[in-house]
Amino acid sequence: MEGNALNLIYQISFFGIAAFAVVAALVVVSAKNPVVSAIWLAVCFIAVAGIYALLKAPFLAMVQILVYAGAIMVLFVMIMMLMDPGKMEAGGAGQKVVRAFAAAAGAVVTVVLLVLASTAGNYKWTAWSEVPVGTSEAIGRLLFTRYLLPFEVLSLLLLAAVVAAIYLARRREASK
């Protein structure tokens, strides 16, 4: 396939997936049902992983799917179950402020996307065959040698947060 045609396919794919991610994010903040918001958040995470894949970052794409679309979504669903969204006030002042801020942020992101789309011809897309091999190996080597201590401290911090959330939820149930 000729280079210009391949470049056009990459650009159309990139901006199509980016626009889909923005639409999914807008659905996340505008949906009234928190479960629907969580599902669309997972869709948004997967779209971002598609952008990473198009930008030749397969390791980041897989981490995005495994960590965010997988683990973080499980955490969100668990928090929603603990909060009991059926008892939350719908349409309160706080929700209106969050929705207004989300709409403004969405408008800014849309303008930025349009500006980037207008200047997309200046970017030189390269074929997958030109990407260096072994990037995920180098990241893994750094993660488990030089950054092992911060990685383990972060995992312990997340574990402590989950245990604290469960403890607080059980204490609240016991006081009823």
Query: Looking at domain 3-131, which CATH architecture does it have?
Result: Up-down Bundle (1.20)
Q: Where are the domains of the chain?
A: 3-131, 132-176
pLDDT confidence of residue 147 = 79
In angstroms, rounded to a whole number, what is the distance separating the alpha carbons of residues 83 and 169?
A: 8
**What b/e readout covers 92-113, taking b as 16+ CB neighbours within 10 angstroms?**
eeeeeeeeeeeeeebeeeeeee
DSSP string, 37-100: HHHHHHHHHHHHHHHHHHTT-HHHHHHIIIIIIIIIHHHHHHHHHHH-GGGSPTT-HHHHHHHH
C-alpha distance across the termini of the chain, in Å: 68
pLDDT confidence of residue 46 = 92
Q: What is the pLDDT of residues 108-163, one digit of tens each?
A: 777 777 776 677 666 565 555 554 555 677 777 777 888 788 888 888 887 887 78
The whole model's pTM is what?
0.58
pLDDT confidence of residue 84 = 63
